[in-house]
A and B are shown apart, each in its own frame.
Chain A
Amino acid sequence: MSGSTRLENANPLIFERSLERVVTAEEEDESLADPIDDREIFDLIRSINDPEHPLSLEELNVVEQVRVRVNDPESAVSVEFTPTIPHCSMATLIGLSIKVKLLRSLPHRFKIDVHITPGTHASEEAVNKQLADKERVAAALENSQLLEVVNQCLSSRTA
């Protein structure tokens, strides 16, 4: 109704947040090892803020647990994300935020693959290529303006 801010998708559908992971007895037992599983990776990325809404990626259904796959023994993670609309110009930025979050939060041994859910974005291939290119990701993070936006997405909600 007030047209002062122009959002690409001004009124997105909001999805329910999943509950906090319940701590199990095995997790409290010192002697057992807990492998890194899908839910753990999902927990890392679900609270990332959307660049244009005061909502998390989970609430916008950009990331879902079923689209996260991890193989702990082989040190591989694959995350698919779904932009809210097919022409979303934020897709690269969202992908970059997910990638950076995983780079900061996972052990070095992991190979991290972040890409768009097939068939959900107009320039899917181009974005995937950018996200897969190590040098381009590194260069993007040298850009202080870009880094600022990424950090804002990653900073905790209360801040």
Chain B
Amino acid sequence: MATDGAVPLPGLVEEFVAGQQDGGAAAAAAGVKAGNFTILQLVEALGPTLTSSQSQTRARGIQLLSHVLSECSGRLSEKEVEVLVAFYENRLKDDYVVTPHVLHGIKALTKSPAWPPGLAISVLKSLFQDVHVQSLMLLERSCIYTILINLMELKEEELKGLGADFVFGFVQAMDGERDPRNLLLAFQIARNILHRGYELGSFTEELFEVTSCYFPIDFSPPPNDPHGITQQELILALRAVLTGTVCFAEFLLPLVIEKLDSDIQSAKLDSLQTLAACASMYGYRELKEFLPGLWSSLRREVFQTASEKVESAGLSSLRAITSCLSRSILSSDGDDALRVFLDLIIQDCRHHLCEPDLKLVWPSAKLLQAAASASYRASHIIAGAVIPQLMEQYNNQTQCAQRRTLLDVLQGFVQPAQDGVPAVAEESVLCGFREPLCEVVFSALSETNAGLQVTASRILSSLGQQPGLLSTSHVELAVDHLRRLILEEEDTQVCPAVLECSGSLAPLYPDVFASAMIPQLKAEIFSEPMLRDNGQEAVHTSSQHVVRQRCMTALAAVSCHPTLVQQTAPVLLQVLSSSHTDVSFSIGSGLFSTDDIIAACRSLQQIAEQVQYAEETGCFFHDVIIPHLLGLTVQAGLQCDNQDSIPPQSPLTEEAILLAIVPVLSTACAHLQSELAALTASRVVSLFLDGDTVFLPGNNLPLQPQLFQKASSSCSGSQLVCLLMACVCSMPKSVEIPQVDRLLSELEELSCTSTHPFSFTLAAKCFAGLINKRSAGQALDLVLERTIKRITSELDCMSSSLRTQALTLLLWVAKALLIRYHPLATTLTDKIFSLLMDPELAPLAADGFSLLMSDSVDVLNRACHADFRIMYRQRFFTENSAKLVEGFNSAEKEMKSGYLKALSHIVNNLPRQVQLTELPALLPLLLEALSCPDQAVQLSTLSCLHPVLLDPPASPALAPQLDGLIFRLLGLTTSPAMKVRIATLRCLHALARFPDHMILPFRARVLRALATPLDDHKRLVRREAVAARGEWFLLGSPGR
């Protein structure tokens, strides 16, 4: 015997068997793996043990062998497997003490790929014959199932040769299984039997019985479940078995009908889902017998249920059944199965649609719609029966609420369903009804009831989506109606519905909209104000402005087609240009108010967003809209510069309007194709740097205007830097900005020296936007070095009047670097931290953290193609929170609030998960912030506490501080600021959801304190107080 290993083999065996040392098994396995000895040598060494007369000793011997085999099953030869299997098979007849180890051994052997033919059958026969599975322990039963699964993988053909005996053996083996882990295995075997076509023979019903007895599954995993088996897993595994074959139909369907009567919600749900799953594979033959029973159960579930889940499961079952019947082939002699079934449904549901009180109208309609959505034929039959009746009902009803309901139901039938879409040769189901349908829709649109109008406009857009339904005259009439509603209707629900409908129809019928909608809207926008009776003075009523703004929104809504855009966008541009020229020539207010102009800009922006990927419109924006917009604003800016003191000023120099123009330009530029973008960039840059106005339309521009001039006036060309920012900072990163270094130094100069807040802020933003996209390297480092030096020297000079400007630039540059993870960002943010100690700039610096952490709208965001890392906030927080806390602790008393403000800004912008994990460390500081007298700090702290309090896992972290927290919150309920009071009460409300044992001690005190805000003078505060106090009252009392 070979004894090369450290421990001789007989010693190992001796130690394991007689010495009861389990370590021997592992050592033996390691020995075999290392090649120190072979399986044969092991068996020889085990010889005396395996033939011992003591069953305990034999068991121990087999245990050792099985263990070794389970480790080394891969390296067995076919001959070895044959011998070992024969041995183990024989041992199945041995004492019950031995059996478990034998089973483990067989399981190990089934993992070996080298099985000689014929063995599997004999092993299975012995297993089924000699072992009574359900009297074994959990682990051994699991062994049996694993053996079956392995053999099914390994020797499928041989097992099939066993015929129905295999199924019978399995049925006997799993009969009575109770453990969910084993059930999952057993269901897997059953599913394999069905899916891989094993012969069921006469045991179909037995197999069904032995699995269906678990249906519907009711299982709740034990607490701290280590196995992680869920009820859903079991349900799905069982469903796969039950719906695995059509042979089960005759047993399964009665079972489902029976279980649907159950009172348990989950059983109902499971039955309905199983029904839907099996109906999708059955044919008419399987379902035929049970259709009436199924229908009456389904109807009952949908009519009577209180649960939306059950209802929707019922509807999808009905849909599955209908689509199954639709698939069945019509036999020449028999009835049309689908028609018979649908007639049943229609007969049961139709009369509910005509009853005057309309009580069951919704469930009936849902059932009918579910059935109709199953197939084209079904929808044809149902629509033919139901739609005329609905329309007749609608015409006969007089009450608005009921007509609304009927129209809503009608909408459900008109909506195109995925499978109900007609095939190429078939025409839409609704073709037969298009005249009366359009009549109903148009009459509803002319009603005064808002609900009817909303629903009618929805029906109209569904009709429009289905090709061939609306004739040209219908479309013209529809557009007339929509236009009338846009011009006249003020209701807050109708307006958006009408706009949405127009938006969905416009791309389908652009010609009609171009001729019958846009010119009229344009006329309305430019209509002169009505003259008063004395005919002297023009008056703008506020309603005129509202109508005008609505027309502009409508123009944007219909601009979803290139040809339409080319008509609508010029109208909006004309609004801007006429507002500009109006003022230049006549004294007094122009036709358009500031709000009108802003609305026009918004509409332009919306158009730019809608058409972003159409090349044609991209060119149009590049050729027409961008130059026009730039031309107008530059002209306006320069004009008022020239005649500085003389009114009137063009409205296009107002900051609010400039800020509205910025997003138009930046959206348009962000979506330009790269060549056009490069062209635009170079034009804009040369306009600003060299005064090159060639590409701008309009002929009265001065030659070579200096747009970077540092005029001190508030109305100056320097404001126009916002246009520069809008164009160059939103370009894709691939677009090279020409003369960028010159541009940067001009911007730096402007942002550091201008005294006009709008100009220097925008210049700083533009600078930051360019820096952010500049590729790393020497050029960038040089610019940054120069700028940082300048900022630092400006900030360090306490007497300078330009420190605010320097701080603004610092903040924006820091943000630009921070979001792209540039190494210099830390230097800049540290500078900002140090400014929290600055007597003059501390409040500004603290607010600056909100700028650093939040997304800015017009620059340095994703839409502007900025270099932007999503995790930058977390990173900034982890790197700097310690500095903040330290700074707070060491700061003098009056400077502390700045730190708190900065902290609350930072924490507020962090993602929730990070907030939760960081909370325990920060809580003392946040509580401190609640006592800070600054209302902005209080508010921002409360708003970052609130989501944390709503999250149940937060409670343990808060436990030690709860006393202090509640005390401070109660104090804030009488704060002078309404928003603080509201936020405080929301936090108190959230606290009431904490575990009872933590908050019960505070109940009396909170209830007493909350009585005061119940009498608050502001209604919004009272509302929160009522909600919070109601919740605290329920706390700890029965019936919560």
Partners in one complex: yes
Give min CB distance, B365 to chain A, whole Å.
16
Given contacts A107-B1011, A147-B1039, contact A30 B1034 (CB under 8 A): no
Interface check B359, CB cutoff 8 A: yes
Is A28 a contact of B1020 with CB atoms below 8 Å?
A: yes
One digit per residue, 1 when the CB lies within 8 angstroms of any chain B CB and 0 when it does not, for chain A 127-155 equals: 00000000000000000110111111011
Residue of A2, A33, A155 near B1034 (CB, 8 A) is: A155
The yes or no answer to A44 lying at the interface (CB within 8 A) is yes
CB-based contact A144/B1040 at 8 Å? no
Q: Which of A27, A148, A149 contacts B1019 (CB 8 A)?
A: A27
Which chain A residue lies CB-closest to B976?
A: A30
Which residues on B sit within 8 Å (CB–CB) of A150?
A: 1039
Residues of B within 8 A of A40 (CB): 1019, 1022
Mask, B997-1026, CB within 8 Å of A = 1, is 000000000000001001101111011001
Q: Considering the complex, which residues of chain A in the window 50-97 have a beta carbon less than 8 Å from any beta carbon of chain B?
A: 54
Q: Chain A residues with Cβ under 8 A from B977's Cβ?
A: 30
User: Is residue B978 contacting chain A, with contact meaning CB distance below 8 A?
Assistant: yes
Contact check, B359 vs A11: say whether CB atoms are below 8 A apart. yes
- A150 to B304 alpha-carbon distance, docked (Å): 26
Asked if A109 and B1015 sit within 8 Å, CB to CB, the answer is yes
A106 at the interface (CB under 8 A from B): yes
Are the CB atoms of B357 and A152 closer together than 8 Å?
A: no
- Determine which of B300, B1019, B1030, B1039 lies in contact with A34 in the assembled complex, contact meaning CB atoms within 8 Å: B1019
Q: Is the CB of B1033 within 8 A of A2?
A: no
Q: Pick the residue among A23, A30, A105, A144 that contacts B1038 (CB under 8 A).
A: A144
A40-B1022, A159-B1040 known; A154 vs B1030 contact (CB < 8 Å): yes
Asked if B424 is an interface residue, CB under 8 A from chain A, the answer is no
The yes or no answer to A126 lying at the interface (CB within 8 A) is no
Alpha-carbon distance between A40 and B1022 when the two chains are bound, in angstroms: 10
A22 nearest CB neighbor, chain B only: B492
User: Which of chain B's residues have a CB closer than 8 A to the CB of A43?
Assistant: 1023
User: How far, in Å, is A21 (CB) from chain B's closest CB?
Assistant: 9
B671 within 8 A of A: no
A6 interface residue (CB < 8 Å to B): no
Taken together as a complex, chains A and B put the C-alpha atoms of A151 and B1019 apart, in Å, by 25
Chain B 298-340 interface residues, beta-carbon cutoff 8 Å to A: 300, 304, 306
Distance in angstroms from B1013 CB to nearest chain A CB is 9
* Nearest neighbor of B296 in chain A, beta-carbon distance: A1
B263 within 8 Å of A (CB atoms):
yes
Q: Is the CB of A107 within 8 A of B304?
A: no
Q: A150 to B977, alpha carbons, bound, how many Å? A: 35
- Is B1039 a contact partner of A33 (Cβ separation < 8 A)? no
Contacts of A34 in B (CB 8 A): 1017-1019
Residues of B near A154 (CB, < 8 A) are: 1030, 1034
Distance (whole angstroms) from the CB of B188 to the closest CB of chain A: 37
Inter-subunit contact A151/B1018 (CB<8 Å): no
A34 to B1019, CA, bound (A): 6
Find residues 87-122 in chain B having any chain A CB closer than 8 Å to their own CB. none
Task: Check if B1020 sits within 8 Å of A4, measured CB to CB.
Answer: no
In the complex the two chains form, what is the Cα distance from A26 to B593 in whole Å? 25
Give which listed residue, A105, A148, A151, contacts B1029 with CB less than 8 A: A105
Chain B residues within an 8 Å CB radius of A7? none
CA distance A33 to B1040 in the complex (A): 34
Q: Give the residues in chain B near A1, CB-CB below 8 Å.
A: 300, 304
- Decide yes or no: A155 and B1018 within 8 Å by CB, A30-B978, A54-B306, A105-B1029 being known contacts: no
With the chains together, A81 CA to B593 CA distance in Å? 51
**What would be 10 A-B contacts, judged by CB atoms less than 8 Å apart?**
A1-B304, A2-B304, A16-B401, A28-B978, A107-B1011, A145-B1038, A151-B1034, A154-B1030, A155-B1039, A156-B1031
Known pairs A2-B300, A148-B1038, A156-B1031; list 11 more (Cβ under 8 Å): A2-B304, A27-B1018, A27-B1019, A30-B978, A44-B1026, A104-B1026, A104-B1033, A105-B1029, A107-B1014, A154-B1030, A156-B1030
